[in-house]
Structure 1
């Protein structure tokens, strides 16, 4: 009798394991079917799902746009609950997904992640993303120029349908016209301005995303343009020699920076605080409407304006993706599709909400949709969309960024 009692739990365990495996296989097959299902079926499967969106949470405007504009509409129109989960850094998202994959966690806590650039490449290389889902999204098919380089690639890495474009960013400089009526239009002119206005300029310490972008602008202008870097870094045998003028420029302006370059703001948020308090006369942003938004909130002075370099500034696209182990893939697809809708993109463009540039192809919008987007008041501090688009420069691929950020620590921060 004892033998029977000992054997039964073993049989039960095997049975439960088999059932669990079957359940897991069924769930995997159901998730994969979403990549070929009709959109109506995807929408029905999404109803009642809670979608956890993991993203950098350091901007109040972005957070409020998602919580107060996007989430209520998703719930009302699609019965999908959007739960925003703020993270300090996008790299933390990738690290968590790597950990979950290493322990075989098939049902994760993340359903949508906001990424681009080197974080996308890391996610793709480590197979942390679900699959080629963008072709299933009606708004992607109807309103996106899928052949555009900034849509088809992410910092030089082919997207392959693994992420959907959410918006576009372009680097701008922010200044107070009361302190610099005629702002510099090149890196040479900026160096002159910095020396003539000691303590009034700085940039965030690398690897801050915006600080790193500022250094890449220095690279382009001091070494002969971006064209030479449109190939893998490993293929440029004399890369370190080519980078030397950039390090020289940064070291030459360093003694004239805020606090004589002895320290740098640890983040763009810290730098913006210095500008808001009048301690420095310039800041910078990847968000062309950030200045207008900060003026509306009363943080930046009314005399705040933005400017570009004559040679152009870096522009890129930021994306939304679905992790490999999302527990609500249908809900994630519906949420991403809605965030790409003309209505959501128009609301996102307003500095009152966020001020983020639209990812949509304006030529694919109806006349009414185009008019609605054109009617958005971008504020006096925001440059026109035409001026921004005519001054766009391509981003470097992720392999260069790692080299530059490491080099800055060695050649600038430690000097």
Structure 2
């Protein structure tokens, strides 16, 4: 027999002339309904996930691995909508909110960092979804700081962790015999090998992260930036060594620094073609996957800096006006399942690190993870964990990106 809340949901959903007030009641009730009730409503819904589309590997994981299994197991149809920049999604939602648009087209957003902070501050996200997700409650170490805080911002349940990223550098060992282990060593290598290194122009996510590594090493470490931006004194003076470093290497970059790749995908292409001898990014398993596909040279390896490389969690969230919220909840819950998370860890599917805690998995699943071949170019989990440094609060990033345009690009 259907419960009262299920009857209300079904009646509200399928009777014509449903009012805005009823729709809001449905939204609110989904966050307190039983999971069986949520899955019943979700069945048959087409869920649009808006996400960065610059990686063929990630796109195929969603389209070819996740979507067919999600539909078969839950009846939810997942449709990937590629975007170049998550900022565009936030602007779209903000415009819809200002226009009073109660129902949009976005069901799930792949999000983190400054985009999450902006969305949270503008009330663009639906509600606290995590406690409603069975797989979040069962498999995620919810009290861990790297889960609870997104670039220093309390997630407040508004986004569910999807994976963990760590920045690595990729190099061709046939051309780079001793990869640099610090930014000072990298500077000397760039000067000694003119034209063979570059980085994407901020605000590209990867390029912005590279600049933050320079920030950490040239200004005395990351700890000073963990406090709020408003608490910083003489920030312009503090940042000056970073700008000096970037301007010092600029004449020795690819095309003498006259232009920069506009994206990490373009940098990967330069590396694959041998124009530069290094690339970089937040995906520790990407080099191995690209070797397997015949895109990167077989001699590709990865390295991290002795002082560490940036690590962060990326998340999934549901907008305030998502048309298929039940389906979105079911899709996010599936993406947090051991099945989907372990498949995502496989570099042939993606190589993205787990958002769930391996200690909470079954013995069988832990064995699968331990035996997984993460690829010839992938560093061990121990090597990565020992060389992790945290991201700084998102409010700094726009300051740094604007500063790069003024102090480096225009110099």
TM-score, scaled relative to structure 2: 0.95
Q: What is the deviation of 1:21?
A: 8.3
Q: Look up the SS of the partner of 2:19 in the other structure.
A: helix
> 1:65-214 maps to which residues of 2 (within 5 A)?
65-214=61-210
Query: Hey, what does 1:334 align to over in structure 2?
Result: 330
Q: Structure 1 CA distance, aligned partners of 2:176 and 2:108?
A: 42
Aligned: 1:406 with 2:390: no
In the alignment, what sits opposite 1:275? 271
**Cα shift at 1:103:** 1.1
Take 2:385 and 2:136, find their aligned partners in 1: how far apart are those partners?
21
Cα deviation per residue 1:300-357 (whole Å; 9 max; x = unaligned)? 0000000000000000000000000111111100000000001100101111111111
Q: Are the aligned partners of 1:346 and 1:376 in contact in 2 as well (CA < 8 Å)?
A: no
Matches within 5 A, 1:7-406: 23-406=19-402
Instruction: State how far apart, in whole Å, the 2-side matches of 1:181 and 1:412 are.
Output: 29
Distance 1:201 1:227 in 2: 28
Distance 2:326 2:408 in 1: 47
Take 1:302 and 1:252, find their aligned partners in 2: how far apart are those partners?
Answer: 32
1:150 Cα shift? 1.1
- Aligned in 2, Cα 1:352/1:22: closer, same or farther, shift over 3 Å? closer
The alpha carbon displacement at 1:139 in A equals: 0.5
Structure 1 or 2, whichever has the larger Rg, is 1
Q: Write the distance in 2 (CA, Å) between the matches of 1:156 and 1:21.
A: 44
1:86 is displaced (CA, Å) by 0.9
**Deviations 1:93-142 (CA, angstroms, capped at 9, x unpaired):** 11111111111111111111101001001111110000001111010001
Unmatched runs of 5 consecutive residues or more in structure 2: 1-14
Q: CA deviation at 1:377?
A: 1.3
For 1:267 and 1:66, locate their aligned partners in 2 and report how far apart those are by CA, in whole Å: 21
Name the SS of the counterpart of 2:353 in structure 1: coil
Q: How big is each residue's C-alpha offset from its partner over 1:203-257, in whole Å with a ceiling of 9 and x where there is no partner?
A: 0011111000000000000111001111011211111111011111111111111
Q: CA deviation at 1:23?
A: 2.1
| Cα distance in 1 between the residues matched to 2:62 and 2:16 | 36
* Alignment deviations for residues 153-176 of structure 1 (CA, whole Å, 9 cap, x no partner): 111110000000000100000000
1:375: how far off?
2.1
**In structure 2, what is the Cα distance between the partners aligned to 1:313 and 1:305?**
16
Query: How far apart, in 2, do the equivalents of 1:396 and 1:77 lie?
Result: 39
Cα deviation for residue 294 of structure 1 reads 0.8
- 1:89 deviation in Å? 1.1
Choose 33-42 or 158-167, whichever is displaced more. 33-42
Contact 1:51 1:83 in 2 (8 A): yes
Structure 2 residue matching 1:28: 3-state secondary structure = helix
How far residue 22 of structure 1 moved from its aligned partner, in angstroms, is 5.8
Dislocated runs of 4+, deviation >6 Å: none
CA RMSD, Structure 1 to Structure 2 (Å): 1.2
What is the TM-score with the length of structure 1 in the denominator? 0.94
Q: In 1, Cα distance between the equivalents of 2:368 and 2:23?
A: 41
